[in-house]
Amino acid sequence: MRAAARRGGALVLADGETFEGELAGAPPPGGVTAGEVVFNTVMSGYQEVLTDPSYAGQIIAFTYPHIGNYGVVDADFESRRPFCRGLVVRDLVATPSSWRATASLDSFLMRCGLSCLAGVDTRRLTRHIRAAGAMVGAFGSAAEADLRAAAAAEPGTDGVDLVAAVTAERPYRRPTARADGRPPWRLSVVDFGVKTSILRRLAAFGHVEVVPAGYGAERILARRPHGVLLSNGPGDPAAVAGATDLIGGLLDAVPVFGICLGHQLLAATLGCETFKLPFGHHGGNHPVRHLASGAVEITSQNHNFSVADSGAPGVEVTHLNLNDGTVEGLRSLEAAAFGVQHHPEAGPGPHDSHHVFATLDAWLGELHGSAPDGAGFAAGCGLESDAPADR
């Protein structure tokens, strides 16, 4: 079957820089798709990237030239649907080659209502963003003047609470049985935009309950968890309504662990400052040093904001990014709490940091001093539901 003919289109950045291409996927509403433009350096795993809720409000430009080679696999979704605004690629492959493929990338984009601008000189685009910094833009079939106006009107991600658009509407659970026969821990996950691969890793050693971002500390503690994970998520940590109040209510009452946005929100609650990076970290090739051991891991990352090493009292920095020296991990010296900026679940990869979940399992054992009692959340905790089919 021959691919459908593509219409010409363009991407216009807020500073007026223009990139021509061809439209694919779903037609942009009104001929325009706008958002904050970021580049991602992964060579595979485009489906995991597109379905990561952390990209809400953003247009993703892939630096790898061929995107769509192995199609799309239903089992590889990281959330119920994509929350990004659109994608920009050099070459969108029309015919995938993989025994696992259940659809082509183009048909996936059509199904999800996601627009793509293909045929773009993504090398020039990446170099421009690196030099000028992350900025908003708009692409589509509309006239260049209309795209320029849409880019000017786009608010971007600064100061916007994007978590409210991606968090679960109600609690749900992922029960488990440990492979080693031990009773599983009871783990609560605050959903700021959690990835399915994080839940899968946690389910190896715990009964997992996911709760909405606005659930409140008292309601979480009433469920008697052994530990609480603050998940990844999109946007500006300073804009997430009620997050520091929630985390403040958990500290000293239950062990707390944060990933990515969850790490930033934990840091802010502990008195650290956060700031926006020039063009963010988006990719699977970031070297991170664990300061205590000196070990270096290649990590998966996706964030535009970072924690400042501002010397907050009672906080110890544990990991640093070797590319730019930014904080990649910290722990509280006064409460049972630590977090990492990178993604140890590594969907799509690399897998150097998978050990963090084994560390979390062992840490809970040290803190609680005994094996879990084996009772799940359903034992007197008023659990509303099992995991919804769309998560």
Is residue 343 part of the annotated active site? The answer reads: yes
Most distant pair of Cα atoms in the chain: their distance = 65
Q: Is 36 part of the annotated catalytic residue set? A: no
The residue assigned the tokens 């605050």 is 190
CA distance 230 to 321: 21
384 catalytic residue (yes or no)? no
- Please give the full DSSP string across 73-141, using - where no structure is assigned: -GGG-SSSS--S-EEE-SEE-SS---TT-SB-HHHHHHHHT-EEEES--HHHHHHHHHHH--EEEEEES
Could you give the 3-state DSSP secondary structure of residue 30?
helix
Half-sphere exposure of 157 (CA within 13 A, CB side): 32
Catalytic residue among 154, 209, 328, 345: 345
DSSP one-letter string for 336-362: SEEEESSBTT-SS---TTTHHHHHHHH
Catalytic residue among 207, 286, 303, 343: 343
- Distance in angstroms (rounded) separating the CA atoms of residues 168 and 162: 13
d(CA 47, CA 71) in angstroms, rounded, equals 9
**Cα–Cα distances in Å, from 267 out to 18, 203, 259, 272?**
38, 25, 11, 5
Is there a contact between 88 and 61 (Cβ–Cβ < 8 Å)? yes
Catalytic option among 260, 282, 328, 342: 260
Q: Are 49 and 348 in contact (CB under 8 A)?
A: yes
Query: What is the number of alpha carbons within 13 Å of residue 222 lying toward its C-beta?
Result: 10
241: tokens are 């309504």
Orientation of helix 243-250 relative to helix 261-269, angle to 10°: 70
Tell me the C-alpha distance between 177 and 204, whole Å. 8
| CA nearest to 226, candidates 163, 269, 184, 282 | 184
Record the tokens describing residue 9, joined without a space.
């289109």
Residue 197 to residue 186: CA distance in whole angstroms: 18
Q: Known catalytic residues?
A: 260, 343, 345
